Amino acid sequence: MIYLDNAATTKMYEEAIEAYVDVCKNHFANPSALHSYGMDAENLIKETKKYIGKLISASESEIFFTKSATESNNIAIKSFDGLAITSKIEHSSVYNTFKNSHFDEVRYISNDNYGFIDEDDLKIKLDNKVTFVSFIYVNNEIGTIQDIKNLSKIIKGFNKDIVIHIDATQAMGKVSCDVEDLGVDMMSFSAHKFHGPKQLGGLYIRKNIQGKIKPILDGGYQEVFSSGTNNPPAIYACGIALKKQIESNEYTYIEELNHYLRKLIKENIKDSYIISPIENSSPYILDVAFANIKSEVLLHMLEEEEIYVSSGSACSKGQYSRVLSSLGIDKKYMDGAIRFSFSNEITKKDLDFTLKVLKDSIEMIRRVI
């Protein structure tokens, strides 16, 4: 199997699975319990918060666990009202949440053909009514790394009280997520994107704005803004996975894989268009469009050879991908985008084989249409 769908989810690290099982077996008490066995489980949560806090230049009391990055994004956005700023290239868990929020108005900042936020448009749209801004850090469809530090400077320079949230789901463990350096107040992440368990998200909330955050689930308020018995096995495994992802030193190797596949496609497949920028882009994600191809058909042809990718076009209800539509891509490419996303289990030999199957499949599709 050649698994090139790591932006959708990753395989859990062995160490994270072992940690998960160990906590299930040996530290299974309710972390809210007052007895020492419960405190034992609670300590694993504290230890993980401490590790993540240190990693992103925050304190343990600024890290909250949620069920997913989707929940984190909901908590962040639904806590505020007034006037918000965001973009059209957000993940649906941000984009759709704005539609269900209490904001009087949501302003969308335009982006260029590579998905970079237009700073001039941001400066024009910032005014005294703006209370909240949310931007995606690493784009999940095309990999663009937004210059958050610079955007924060512009926003805070205009009004330091504007709250900045970023969705760092595709960034955590892969690019620097130092909240002080980035200048953000809230940051969402998700364990299953860095080889941790699914349904375990996190939200960093800067201490001085915690009083403004509204709980998304009422109950025991175990994680203050979310309720329900905490999940020590998943939380502990999340910390172990993040540590291993950080220590993997795989970035350069992933970059090599990305550049290798780019080159293979460019040189061997006619009418292909590399959507992901080469600079300021996460090497983990490579989005490529093939003219006059239906990506779903291509995806299933690759699947027959046990190559798993994602359809970058994600055409739903007759509508093109919001992200691709914002990039001004030629219509002939709009249906044919495929997202390849890497892990360090992939080899160049895997990519040679992927290219061969890709080329044969595209030629076959083009012959019959």
Binding site for ligand PLP (CB under 6 A): 68-70, 91, 93, 136, 140, 167, 169-170, 190, 201
Q: Which is nearer to ligand PLP, 140 or 276 (CB)?
A: 140
Q: Which is nearer to ligand PLP, 13 or 137 (CB)?
A: 137
Minimum CB distance to ligand PLP, residue 140 (Å): 3
Q: Which is nearer to ligand PLP, 79 or 169 (CB)?
A: 169
Enumerate residues 6+ apart whose C-beta is below 8 A from 42.
31, 32, 232
Q: Which is nearer to ligand PLP, 83 or 203 (CB)?
A: 203
Please say if 24 is a catalytic residue. Answer: no
Answer whether 163's CB lies under 8 Å from 131's CB.
yes
Enumerate residues 6+ apart whose C-beta is below 8 A from 221.
215, 227
For residue 127, count CB atoms less than 10 angstroms from its CB and return exposed for 0-12, middle for 13-18, buried for 19 or more.
exposed
Strands 130-136 and 163-167, sheet pairing: parallel
Minimum CB distance to ligand PLP, residue 56 (Å): 17
Q: Which amino acid is at 306?
A: E
Minimum CB distance to ligand PLP, residue 194 (Å): 11
Q: Is the dihedral of CA 167, 169, 171, 173 positive or negative?
A: positive
Q: Which of 24, 177, 238, 315 is catalytic?
A: 315
Minimum CB distance to ligand PLP, residue 163 (Å): 18
Minimum CB distance to ligand PLP, residue 164 (Å): 16
- Residue-wise DSSP of 159-224: -TTSEEEEE-TTTTTTS---HHHHT-SEEEEEGGGGTS-SS-EEEEE-GGGGGGPPPSS-SS-TTS
Please tell me the distance from the alpha carbon of residue 202 to that of residue 205, in angstroms, as a whole number: 10
Pinpoint the alpha helices (H) of the chain.
Answer: 14-26, 36-55, 69-78, 92-99, 119-125, 148-158, 179-182, 232-247, 251-268, 295-304, 322-325, 348-368
81 pairs with which residues across the strands? 102
Q: Which is nearer to ligand PLP, 100 or 208 (CB)?
A: 100
Answer whether 177's CB lies under 8 Å from 208's CB.
no
Minimum CB distance to ligand PLP, residue 217 (Å): 15
Q: Which is nearer to ligand PLP, 321 or 361 (CB)?
A: 321
| Catalytic center residues | 315
